[in-house]
């Protein structure tokens, strides 16, 4: 690719990032209130479960209830909390809404500190490490350690929390909230986390999304810097490629992961290369 073409692409990317930032409000008071209330409800649920019945409260009942639905549904829901998934889904809107991407990065870093820090601090045992194999329904790999909090629930709380923060319609916020909760419940359904883990994970994710949005509002500059943006997008593409070959231990979700991964990569290719180059060709005529 010639220097002139690279210069043209950088100019187009810069124009698109500037226009994209203008599409998204710097702050969203309503969105912030949604996230704080959601986090508060999760805190109440986690505290009530733990104080009333103990750390394992509600697991067997919810796990048994989930068996009424096909395993593939829970597998498809649970992979939405895979750490690679937010990067893949972000490729669909990264250039059009760069402020959302920047907020996701900041919120994700905060959430990683929360999730990994608490896992190492508590070192709690997961259901397969405590319960007999015939006492509950296990789908996928049976991990035994680092149960608190649920990492998949944290990821869901962050990703859908950021979207909830910037969404304009109540209907969209309710739908995104429902999906995040279902991702959390799927961790109990596949038999890998206690309900308290899920509630704490969603709470941490929602708070990370709220804090990430506040940081992005006070430090918005990187959202329009082409070099930073392209670095994040390149990383997202690399992680998305992994979805094409690794199902995370949930084979029934593999077709969905491949479709989403391929669609996300094609979307990025179209946004960042195909459309700008077609535009440049049209301008030269």
Nearest to 156 by CA among 192, 127, 187: 187
What pLDDT shows up at residue 2? 59
Query: Residue 137: what pLDDT?
Result: 97
Q: In this predicted structure, what is the pLDDT of residue 82?
A: 96
The pLDDT assigned to 281 comes to: 75
Based on its alpha-carbon atoms, the radius of gyration of the chain, rounded to whole angstroms, reads 20
Q: Are 140 and 193 in contact (CB under 8 A)?
A: no
φ, ψ of residue 28 in degrees (nearest 5): -140, 90
pLDDT score, position 3: 60
Q: Which residues of the chain fall below pLDDT 50?
A: none
Query: Which of 101, 98, 95, 97 lies closest to 274 in space, CA to CA?
Result: 95
The pLDDT assigned to 279 comes to 76
Contacts of 278 (CB under 8 A, 6+ apart): none
**What architecture is domain 24-278?**
Up-down Bundle (1.20)
Model pTM score: 0.95
pLDDT in tens, 198-232: 999 999 999 999 999 999 999 998 998 999 999 99
Q: Convert 158-182 to b/e letters by CB count within 10 Å (16 or more is b).
A: bbbbbbbbbbeeeeebeebbebbbb
Report pLDDT digits (tens) over 29-72.
999 999 999 999 999 999 999 998 999 999 999 999 999 999 99
Domain boundaries, the chain: 24-278
């Amino acid at each position: 690719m010639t220097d002139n073409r690279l210069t043209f692409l950088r100019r187009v990317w810069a124009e698109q990032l500037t226009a994209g930032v203008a599409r998204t409000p710097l702050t969203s008071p309503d969105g912030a209130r949604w996230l704080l209330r959601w986090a508060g409800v999760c805190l109440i649920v986690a505290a009530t479960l733990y104080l009333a019945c103990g750390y394992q409260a509600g697991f067997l009942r919810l796990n048994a209830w989930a068996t009424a639905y096909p395993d593939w549904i829970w597998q498809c829901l649970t992979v939405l909390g895979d750490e690679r998934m937010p990067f893949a889904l972000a490729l669909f809107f990264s250039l059009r809404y760069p402020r959302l991407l920047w907020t996701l990065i900041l919120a994700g870093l905060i959430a990683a500190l929360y999730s990994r820090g608490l896992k190492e601090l508590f070192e709690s045992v997961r259901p397969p490490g405590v319960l007999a194999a015939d006492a509950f329904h296990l789908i996928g790999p049976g991990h035994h350690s680092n149960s608190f909090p649920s990492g998949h629930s944290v990821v869901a709380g962050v990703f859908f929390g950021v979207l909830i923060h910037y969404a304009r319609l109540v209907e969209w916020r309710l739908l995104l909230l429902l999906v995040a909760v279902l991702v959390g419940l799927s961790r109990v359904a596949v038999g890998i986390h206690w309900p308290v883990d899920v509630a704490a994970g969603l709470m941490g994710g929602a708070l990370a999304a709220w804090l990430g949005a506040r940081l992005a509002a006070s430090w918005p500059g990187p959202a329009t810097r082409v070099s930073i943006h392209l670095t994040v997008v390149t990383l997202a593409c690399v992680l998305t490629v992994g979805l094409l070959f690794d199902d995370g231990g949930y084979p029934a979700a593999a077709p969905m992961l491949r479709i989403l991964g391929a669609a996300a990569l094609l979307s990025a290719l179209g946004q960042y290369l195909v459309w700008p180059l077609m535009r440049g060709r049209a301008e030269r005529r």
